[in-house]
């Protein structure tokens, strides 16, 4: 909580855009909302709201076991925070004091998060690390962890090689470029995917600019606006964007069907990655 006694945690409402450029163009968008949870506040939030719970059924709920690079291992919010602190300490030799999580809560007991983001702050409350937690529909997960060099309201771009099979229409090659603009009341997250391994060089100098100039296979963008975390706002969002998490899963399968109808090549699912965490020390320019 802040010095004024207000919660840092918030609700984030907005839209998601998906644009597939190769091999054929295909675009769609939908409304969405997330929770931006300070992990030190989640239990207190549940005590303040009759429609939000931790690790039990409610209209909206937060299950720590849904997160972390070892699925199901975190039985409490404190354990989840500790697991992220340990990840950063093990991979970057840095201690983080505060952790926020951008994610969709469970709705009526169900959630599927294609991506969640952990924001890690040092003891001066400066953002120092990010962890992008990616899930696929096969129950597999990987964490892409990065050191951060903030540039004002803009977080420097981060590039890494793709390591997890996400779509049956792209193989596990090439790489991602993550970019965020995180202002006081708005958040924009853009993920560019360059599918050809020969076209993606995350370790080269100025890789973010070079990759952004190459032809992207897929772009996902999320624009969110901050709202106060309250029972009233939860109910309002739940009515205006009903059954959120079920709709996300349904949209994934519906769009996959449309791509199949368009005769996109279907790629067999490979074995899951051998590592659950990909850590990148250097922040790219951009």
Q: How far apart are CA 219 and CA 10, in angstroms?
A: 26
Q: Is residue 92 part of a domain?
A: yes
pLDDT at 1 over 70: no
Q: Name residue 194's beta-bridge partners.
A: 175
Q: How do residues 227-278 score in pLDDT, each as one tens digit?
A: 999 999 999 999 999 888 888 888 877 777 877 777 777 787 878 888 899 9
Q: How do residues 100-143 score in pLDDT, each as one tens digit?
A: 999 999 999 999 999 999 999 999 999 999 999 999 988 999 99
Buried b (16+ CB within 10 A) or exposed e, 182-201: beeeebebbbbbbbeeebbb
Per the listing, tokens 């193989």 go with 171
Full-model pTM:
0.89
Domain residues for the domain of 122 are 10-280
Q: Is residue 190 part of a domain?
A: yes
Q: Is residue 23 part of a domain?
A: yes
Q: Is residue 285 part of a domain?
A: no
Q: Is residue 209 part of a domain?
A: yes
Q: Is residue 147 part of a domain?
A: yes
Tokens of 165: 């099979």
Q: How do residues 58-104 score in pLDDT, each as one tens digit?
A: 999 999 999 998 888 999 999 999 999 999 999 999 999 999 999 99
Q: How far apart are CA 122 and CA 184, in angstroms?
A: 19
Mean pLDDT, the chain, whole residue set: 86
Q: Are 163 and 273 in contact (CB under 8 A)?
A: yes
The number of folded domains in the chain is 1
Q: How far apart are CA 98 and CA 229, in angstroms?
A: 19
Q: Is residue 286 part of a domain?
A: no
Q: Is residue 235 part of a domain?
A: yes
């Amino acid at each position: 909580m802040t010095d004024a006694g207000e919660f840092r945690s918030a609700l984030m409402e907005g839209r998601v855009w998906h644009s597939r450029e190769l091999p054929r163009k295909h675009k769609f968008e939908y409304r969405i909302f997330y929770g931006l949870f300070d992990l030190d506040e989640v239990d207190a939030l549940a005590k303040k709201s009759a429609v939000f719970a931790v690790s039990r059924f409610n209209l909206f709920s937060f299950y720590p076991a849904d997160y972390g690079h070892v699925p199901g291992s975190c039985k409490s919010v404190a354990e989840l925070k500790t697991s992220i602190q340990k990840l950063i300490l093990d991979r970057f030799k840095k201690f983080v004091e505060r952790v926020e999580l951008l994610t969709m809560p469970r709705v009526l007991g169900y959630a599927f998060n294609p991506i969640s983001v952990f924001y890690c702050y040092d003891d001066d409350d400066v953002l120092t690390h990010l962890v992008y937690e990616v899930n696929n529909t096969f129950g597999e997960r990987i964490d892409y962890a990065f050191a951060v060099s903030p540039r004002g309201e803009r977080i420097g771009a981060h590039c890494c090689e793709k390591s997890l099979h996400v779509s049956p229409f792209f193989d596990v090659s090439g790489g991602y470029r993550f970019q965020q603009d995180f202002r006081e009341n708005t958040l924009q997250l853009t993920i560019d995917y360059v599918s050809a391994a020969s076209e993606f060089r995350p370790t080269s100098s100025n890789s973010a600019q070079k990759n952004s100039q190459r032809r992207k296979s897929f772009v996902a963008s999320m624009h969110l606006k901050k709202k106060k975390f309250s029972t009233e706002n939860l109910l309002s969002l739940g009515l205006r964007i009903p059954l959120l998490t079920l709709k996300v899963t349904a949209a994934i399968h519906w769009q996959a069907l449309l791509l199949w109808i368009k005769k996109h090549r279907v790629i067999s699912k490979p074995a899951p990655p051998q590592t659950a965490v990909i850590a990148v020390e250097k922040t790219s320019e951009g």
